[in-house]
Structure 1
């Protein structure tokens, strides 16, 4: 068996643009109209650096009004919100607005989103681009395995872009598995995607039975150091699945399990793509040299928050 390559994609601890803290100068009992509510959200989005604050705020209030967007009659925008509508908006304080509008655009797919499933970050789109480039070079119908699929963002984006690709998606969360299946059905990609409720640490034998001759293994695993968890924004800690974030003492708990399984399920020219903490590449390199035969760290890149790129050969 030839060496299998591992590409590592790093990003910093703090993420941008997906979550927002909303503070109000009004209280749940204050009487406001929809237009005023939109303006409140817009200002808070601007303060938090959210892109397209006007559109984002309109989506929030439209959700409360039961519409897709605020393309409702002007009279509704001027009408005072009911107490129930105001209460619903009030509950959005410190709540990820992606969960409020229940959808999220990731590359060229629109995903259904539900708490506590991990919200895919924009940086992960760059990881998908790397995997796409690799898969495009492969012949036949290559099989892609995603470990920790969450909403299915990575697998579904790959499948939509490459009709010749098949995929298997695994997650330890029942909610994530159900959401990925729902998103696959919404996008008409269910025939090329198999989704399983599997924990790669506890169910290693099951993974080996389900997966073989995998061309690309890709994962955005839980990689945060446990000691760093309290440093996350309160909205993340309160609403998102901790199991999708906490990678254990050194952030490598799930990553080690993935890399241990990789040589047994990958094709001879298979690759592993992982999104990890910036402190991980050397730790992974050292661990592989001691623990996993045939697997070598091939490349390290940094996401859009950093301009440095490190490349290593097999």
Structure 2
């Protein structure tokens, strides 16, 4: 019952029954809203009895081939901002908001960070979310991927932050400048780890895989941070489920003081890194 002209509520139910994901109904609603050019909230409040538009079927077909919803709609909400995303850039995950939560908690009661560095910026999600949180701050996003940098720079422009956010080509060599806050969501998946089709078949491998144990990038980041952290500054580093102990050991061995923060699912998702006083 997904043919053009069927009532939207029936088309959504039929589509959700076919979508193989953890959130099939939400996926169907987001696609329908995109086909109509309205928000999901507007769809649910006032349009469920309207006829399904012709544009819904091709969007659904893409999702049935496991293309990420964010690539199909071209957008993804993250923290307090809406980002443009597309092939060539990792889709921002809600789990990564744990890094912003950790930074907000650390700087509570202070003016906040003045200079922010985002290592492996991708779409610019972490840097731009932090700049939205602290309007007086400015920052730098670094990535090796030219397509990712183009998307990040476009997001900075769309959000009115182009004068505060600089996107640069680079890797784990840093900038030579010291920062009050360093954000980093590096690749951390083991090279032979099985992944869902929508990740393995669509998202960039360079943003996912990090050697046989998934720790290659952390080893380089541990060597970088001391030269980039300003006095009193912190780095917040994302880790995969089950990796917190190993990454903490790497950072402790490099002389840092560390603490962990859990995501909403209860996983240790963020390592908070400081230079001991």
Would you call these one fold, judging by a TM-score over 0.5? yes
Q: Name the counterpart of 1:101.
A: 73
In structure 2, C-alpha distance between the alignment counterparts of 1:171 and 1:255, rounded to whole Å: 15
Q: Name the counterpart of 2:14.
A: 40
- Aligned ranges 1:187-198 → 2 under 5 Å: 187-198=159-170
Q: Name the counterpart of 1:223.
A: 188
User: Residues 135 and 216 of structure 1 are in contact (CA less than 8 Å); yes or no, is this contact kept in structure 2?
Assistant: no
Matched, 1:91 2:62: yes
Q: Name the counterpart of 1:261.
A: 224
Residue 155 and residue 98 in structure 1: after superposition, are their counterparts in 2 closer, same or farther (change >3 A)? same
Please point out which of 63, 76, 91 is paired with 2:34.
63
Q: How far is the alpha carbon of 1:88 from its aligned partner?
A: 5.0
Gaps of 5+ in 2: none
Residue 97 and residue 212 in structure 1: after superposition, are their counterparts in 2 closer, same or farther (change >3 A)? same
- Counterpart of 1:163 in 2: which secondary structure? coil
Structure with max Cα Rg: 1
User: Residues 285 and 297 of structure 1 are in contact (CA less than 8 Å); yes or no, is this contact kept in structure 2?
Assistant: no
Q: Name the counterpart of 1:276.
A: 239
User: Residues 187 and 207 of structure 2 are in contact (CA less than 8 Å); yes or no, is this contact kept in structure 1?
Assistant: yes
In structure 1, C-alpha distance between the alignment counterparts of 2:272 and 2:113, rounded to whole Å: 28
C-alpha RMSD over aligned residues: 3.3
- Aligned ranges 1:87-236 → 2 under 5 Å: 87-93=58-64, 94-136=66-108, 139=111, 142-200=114-172, 204=173, 207=174, 210-228=175-193, 231-236=194-199
In structure 2, C-alpha distance between the alignment counterparts of 1:235 and 1:140, rounded to whole Å: 37
- Counterpart of 2:139 in 1: which secondary structure? strand
With normalisation by structure 2, the TM-score equals: 0.82
In structure 1, C-alpha distance between the alignment counterparts of 2:123 and 2:195, rounded to whole Å: 21
Q: Name the counterpart of 1:299.
A: 259
User: Residues 221 and 255 of structure 1 are in contact (CA less than 8 Å); yes or no, is this contact kept in structure 2?
Assistant: yes
- Counterpart of 1:298 in 2: which secondary structure? strand
- Counterpart of 2:171 in 1: which secondary structure? coil
In structure 1, C-alpha distance between the alignment counterparts of 2:56 and 2:111, rounded to whole Å: 54
Aligned residues: 267
Greater relative CO (CA pairs within 8 A, separation 6+)? 1
Please point out which of 78, 83, 86 is paired with 2:51.
78
With normalisation by structure 1, the TM-score equals: 0.73
